[in-house]
Amino acid sequence: MTQDSTRRDMRGREFGTFLRPARSCYVDSFNVYIDSNPFRAVRFRLMLYTVLDGKPATPLLPNDVQFVVRDQRTGWISVDLSSYNVQLEKKQPVALALQWLDNDTPSSERWFFGIPAVFPAPLHRVFGRDKSQANWRTYPMQPSMYLAVQSWQE
């Protein structure tokens, strides 16, 4: 999410990617890979948006979905979304994001929290903004995050 080694207020910052399911589906879980984490606790909000003019627009999740990454955990993190009964239509563009809500003081001098991404990735885009009312920026990258889904033949 950030490559800074100095302390910054991350609250409100969002980072995500655009997805387009090949088939209609139900969302089972959100998954993200974390390769660097100096924090004992980081609280995130998971956001899923419609897409309008190539930017995140209206939230799709029916409830506030928050989760905490604890104890400097790295590796794959999975958040169960099956109880939210989120359905995506075939080829429906969606924006999937993490919003940084809060964190403790890191256990080391490094403030780097890392989600690896392929760069450049001309066929994929990530988006981000520093605060909830800031303008969206996009970059040609593919981050290590995805939705696990159940799809069906139409």
Three-state helix/strand/coil letters over the chain: CCCCCCCCCCCCCEEEEEECCCCCEEEEEEEEEECECCCCEEEEEEEEEEEECCEEEEECCCCCEEEEEECCCCEEEEEECHHHCCEECCCCCEEEEEEEEEECCCCCCCCCCECCEECCCCCCCEEEECCCCCCCEEECCEECEEEEEEECCC
pTM: 0.86
Say whether domain 14-151 belongs to CATH 2.40.50: no
Domain residue limits, the chain: 14-151
pLDDT in tens, 43-57: 999 999 999 999 999
pLDDT in tens, 20-77: 999 999 999 999 999 999 999 999 999 999 999 999 999 999 899 999 999 999 999 9
Give the chain's mean pLDDT.
88
Per-residue pLDDT at 113: 84
